[in-house]
Amino acid sequence: MSTCGLRCIKLVYEQARNWFLANWDPSLSVKNWWRLLAESGWGYPHWPVGQFGKSMSRQEHMEVERARVSVGAFGVPNDVSVTLVAPTLMEHGNEILLNRYLEPIATGQEMWCQLFSEPDAGSDLAGLKTSAERDGDRWIINGSKVWTTGGHASRRAVLMARTDPGADRHSGISFFILDMKQPGVTVSTLRDMTGDEEFNQVSLTDVEVDHQDVIGELGEGWRVAMTMLQHERDADAVGHDGGGDVINQVDLTAPVGEVQDEQKQGGTTSGFFYATGSVKDDVTFNLLNQLAPNRDPVLRDAETVAKVNRNLLDLNASRDLHPSIGKLLNAALCRELRDLGFAAGPASQLAHGDAIDEGHFLKSGLFASGMSIAGGTDEIQRNIIGERVLGLPREPAVEANTSRREP
């Protein structure tokens, strides 16, 4: 234990558990519970003191989460605003942005989305063409984004746009906060093979952004984006297995216990939630218990391997290793759990009411391959680990060979 010894870890768990035992009330509204969590610091213990946190280490944060789960309390919002925007604002945002946006994020009042990928750029994030032109104290944005998770339900977005078309492709990008409910923002849903519509294509036509809503300095958008992607690759970051719905806005006036029960039953939670959080483990193992209670040796061995890899993922988090390592392990675990569930028999391929588990596993299994793409492909993660963790030489850049560049 590097930052907190065993005695310290035990004390953190006991303090957190005592707080949740004393304060967890399923009859509270979601709004009031989330505010109580935020203001107490127990919802975001990894965040700084004074910014809804307790400045705890990752190890301590994991103990707080373990205590919360042991009590059965609902967690913090599970969306882009908590997992990605807030930590990025804390690193690159100024006091104006923190004062303006951190509270509604921490208390779950506003859902955010991430406007990164573009239809013509594929995985080449630096190839974006969305433009931002300055007009006094505002910026005028034009372009198109795709694969935007939860865009249809989001109040705000973080946006990468090109502010200097003449600069190097990485240097001419800036990072903005955008109001999704203004004229000129058109959101079109995309249905994936799970049957869900959590992804969107977003068209931006003469959309306005206040100059004060630039995160970081002009032209530093690439650096800010890399910070956000690092948090996205961290499967154990604050909020990834919290509460709420990563896709749809939760009814803040509803009793928090009712919302929690509904989401446990799959009532409002889409397959994306099952595919990314530790819930995916429970979904697969519950299916196995129902379809193959007396597992054959091959299936038992595969289940053991999956559980060992889950422990490796937890060990990676506890040692605070590079997020790309955890991202790679998590993507591999998703595929293992998918194959394990499908090996239980044809019944695992049924959907919705025809399935023994209402189709929860099928959604998770169908989405598993996407985890090798979201937040950077497995190949990108291996390059990052090789270059930044192991210190290996950089892979030659394709754009350096001008004969292979597109006109």
Query: Digits of tens for pLDDT over the chain (407 positions)?
Result: 345 666 788 899 999 999 999 999 999 999 999 999 999 999 999 999 999 999 998 889 989 999 999 999 999 998 889 999 999 999 999 999 999 999 999 999 999 999 999 998 877 888 999 999 999 999 999 999 999 989 999 999 999 999 999 998 899 999 999 999 999 999 999 998 888 888 999 999 999 999 999 999 999 999 999 999 888 877 555 555 556 556 667 889 999 999 988 876 654 444 445 555 566 788 899 899 999 999 999 999 999 999 888 888 777 666 667 888 888 888 899 999 999 999 999 999 999 889 998 888 998 899 898 888 887 889 988 998 999 889 999 877 665 444 434 43
CATH superfamily of 109-221: Butyryl-CoA Dehydrogenase, subunit A, domain 2 (2.40.110.10)
Two tokens, residue 113 = 């989305």
CATH of domain 270-389: 1.20.140.10
Q: Give per-residue burial for 233-250: e unless 16+ CB within 10 Å, then b.
A: bbbbbbbbbbbbbbbbbb
The reply to whether 109-221 and 270-389 are identical in fold is no
Domain ranges of the chain: 109-221, 270-389
Two tokens, residue 355 = 């399935």
Does the pTM of the predicted model rise above 0.85? no
CB atoms near residue 81 (< 10 Å): 30
* DSSP assignments along 196-239, one per residue: ---EEEEEEEEEEEEGGGB-SSTT-HHHHHHHHHHHHT-TTSTT
